[in-house]
Structure 1
C-alpha cells in the first residue's frame, strides 16, 4: 500500500487558519495564505471530529452547514490526526515537528515517561518549555487585537491551553447555547477581534456511539442549529468560519486489536505511545538494528494489509511531521504503525478496559481522518 501524501504544511492546512486570520487583522509577521476576505472581526469555530467526508455523508442532519459546502475549501489536519496535535498546529501556525506535540500519548525522552497531551501532564513538565514557540493569539494581543477563547471550563488554564492556545481571554461556556451567547456578546463589544470557539459534542458522540450513529447525527443537528443562530447574531464586519481538527472512522469491536498478545511485535520495545490508529513504538537503547528491523517486519507480516508501518526517519522524510526540531525528534516513535483500514491497535497491558469500547476513532492518514472543512458561515459585506 502506498503511504498517503503528507499534509502540505504552510498551505491548505489547519495550521494556516489563524495566521491567515491574523494577517487579515493586520498583525505583522503573518501571511493570508488561505486568502480570507477582509474583516474587522474573525471568529473561528472548531468542531472537534467533523471530517469533510462526514459532513458530506451525513449532511441531511445539517442543512445550514451543508449549503455552505458549495465552493468551500478542504484543509488537511495535522498529523497525527488527533486533537492535541491539530490544536497545537492551529494555535501556533507550526507543523508538529516544530511545536512538539506529536501524538496523543508522547514520550518525554529526558525522563522516559509518557505524557498525555490532552490532559494527563506531569506536574513538573512546564507547558512553555515543552512548546516554547509563541502562539498566534499572543502575537495578536501584542498588536492590540482583542483575543478570546470560548470553550469548556475544564480547558481554562489547562496544560494544553497553556502550551498551544495561550494568549487573550478565556471565556468558560459549558453548553452550546452559552457559547453562542458569549461569542455574540464579546464580538459586539470589540471593533477588532480574533475569537476561537470550541465545540466538542460531535467528537464525544463519535467516540462513544460512532460517527454513523443516531446520537452523532443528533449532535450534528445541534451544531447546525447553533451555527445558524451564531451566524444570524454576529455583528457586521465579522468573518465567521468553521473548521475541524480531524475526521473520524468507526471501528467494529472485532477490529479493536490487543497487539500485546503478539510478543514478536514488542521485542525490544520500551515504551508504546501514540493512540490506537497511530501507534508509536519506542525501542530500548539496547535494541540493535537487527531487532528493530525484525519487529518492523513482524508488524508488516501480521498487519501489513491493514496498516502502514514505517520508521521515524521514513516518516520525517515523507514530511508527516513537517520540519522537525532536534528537541522534538526523539519524541516521535522509532516505529510507527498507522491504520489504513477500519482497525485499531491497543497495548492491552496499559490501555484501560473501557478504551476498547471506543467506536469512532482517528489518528491515522486516511482521507476520512485528515480532510476537514473550512466553511465560511458569514462573510463581511463589501
Structure 2
C-alpha cells in the first residue's frame, strides 16, 4: 500500500481495501475534525474513534461467520486502536516471544479442522529501524524468523495453506542524509501541519494560503529536493491512484502537498519530532521498489509441498 508504512499496509491487509477507503493514509495524519495531527499506529488520539475512522468491516469480521478466526500477536496489541480499526474480529492469542507466537499459531491451526490464523512478527522491523536492514543485527533476526517459520511450516496440518509476507520494505538512511527541513523558512511558510513519515511527508496548507502561495511552496520544495524526491499535490496523487479509490471522508486526511523520497534521505520537522527520531537508520514510507515491493511466499500448500513464489 501507499504510503509504504505499517498503518497503511496492515490497514489494507486487514480490510482488503486501499488506504483511500480505509483511511489509514500514513504513520500520522491530519484529523480534519479536530484540526490536529493524530497517530495511526501506537498512540491514537483519545478524540479519534477507531471504528468511526475506519468503518468498513475487516476481513476477520467477514470470515468469522464462516470459520474460527484467531490473531496471534503481542500482548500490547490485543486491544490497541490499530487492532480495533483494521484487524478486529475473531479471538486474540497474546504471546511475547517470537517462539511463543509461532507455537501459539501452530496450536490454533491444530485445534480446528478449518480456521483462519493471523500471525504477526515484528522483530525484523525493530532491528531494521534501529540498526539498518544491512546490519548484522537485522541478519540475525532474519535467521531467527527463518528458523521459526520453517519449524511452523514443518508442523502445520498437511491441508494448511501457509503464506508469509510483509507490510513494507526498508532502506537505510545515513546520518548525513537525515535533514531537518524546519530550519528552511521557505519550505514551511504557509504550512499549517506536517505529518507522515520522514520518507513520505504530508504537508497541509494554511486555510487562507492563496493559490500563488501554494505554487510558491511547491516551487520551493522542488528547488530544494526535486532531485532527491517526488513532489506532488493531493490531486496528482489521487489522480495517479496512489491511494486507490479515495472516499470523500478520507480526502482531507491526505496532505495538500506530499514529499516522497526517491534517494536514501529522510526529512524531519524537528519542531514536532524528538531527537531520537533522527537516530532511526532503517526507514520506509515512499514509492521506491525497495520500500513497496515485498514477496508473498507460499510455505505450505494443501495437497503439495511448499513453494516459493
TM bracket (short chain):
over 0.9
CA distance in 1, matches of 2:47, 2:113: 40
Partner of 1:103: 26
What does residue range 205-216 of structure 1 map to in structure 2 within 5 Å? Answer: 205-216=127-138
The corresponding residue for 1:80 is: 3
Cα-Cα RMSD: 0.7
Q: Is residue 274 of structure 2 the alignment partner of residue 344 of structure 1?
A: no
TM-score norm. by structure 1 comes to 0.79
Match of 1:128 among 48, 51, 56: 51
Match of 1:173 in 2: 95
State the alpha-carbon separation in 2 of the partners of residues 304 and 298 from structure 1.
9
Cα distance in 2 for residues equivalent to 1:174 and 1:290? 53
Instruction: Tell me by how many angstroms 1:344 deviates.
Output: 0.4
Q: 1:258 aligns with which of 160, 180, 184?
A: 180
Aligned residue runs from structure 1 range 62-73, under 5 A: none
After superposition, residues 292-331 of structure 1 pair within 5 angstroms as 292-331=214-253
Partner of 2:76: 154
Correspondence for 2:120 among 198, 212, 227: 198
Q: Describe the SS at the equivalent of 1:199.
A: coil
Shift of 1:124: 2.7
What pairs with 1:349-364 in structure 2 (closer than 5 Å)? Answer: 349-364=271-286
Q: Which has the higher contact order (CA 8 A, sep 6+)?
A: 1
In the alignment, the residues of structure 1 paired with residue 102 and residue 56 of structure 2 have an alpha-carbon distance, to the nearest angstrom, of: 30
Query: Aligned partners of 1:187, 1:120: CA distance in 2, in Å?
Result: 32
Aligned counterparts of 2:186 and 2:56: Cα–Cα separation in 1: 40
1:342 to partner: Cα distance: 0.3
Which 4+ residue blocks in structure 1 deviate beyond 2 angstroms? none
Bigger shift: residues 306-315 or 177-186:
177-186
User: Which residue in 2 is equivalent to 1:370?
Assistant: 292
Shift in Å, 1:236: 1.9
Deviation at 1:152, TM superposition (A): 0.7
What secondary structure is seen at the aligned counterpart in 2 of 1:323?
coil
Question: Aligned to 1:97, what secondary structure does the other structure show?
Answer: helix
Determine the C-alpha separation between the residues in 1 that align with 2:8 and 2:183: 29
Local SS of the residue matching 1:301: helix
Q: What's the offset of the Cα at 1:379?
A: 0.8
Alignment of 1:218-229 (within 5 A): 218-229=140-151
Deviations 1:300-342 (A, max 9, x none): 0011000000000000001000000000000000000000000
CA distance in 2, matches of 1:267, 1:123: 30
Q: TM-score by structure 2 length?
A: 0.97
Structure 1 counterpart SS, 2:3: coil
1:335 and 2:260 equivalent? no
Distance in 2, Cα, partners of 1:184 & 1:111: 43
- Over residues 223-249 of structure 1, what are the superposed CA-to-partner deviations in whole Å (9 max), with x where a residue is unaligned? 000011000111121011100000000
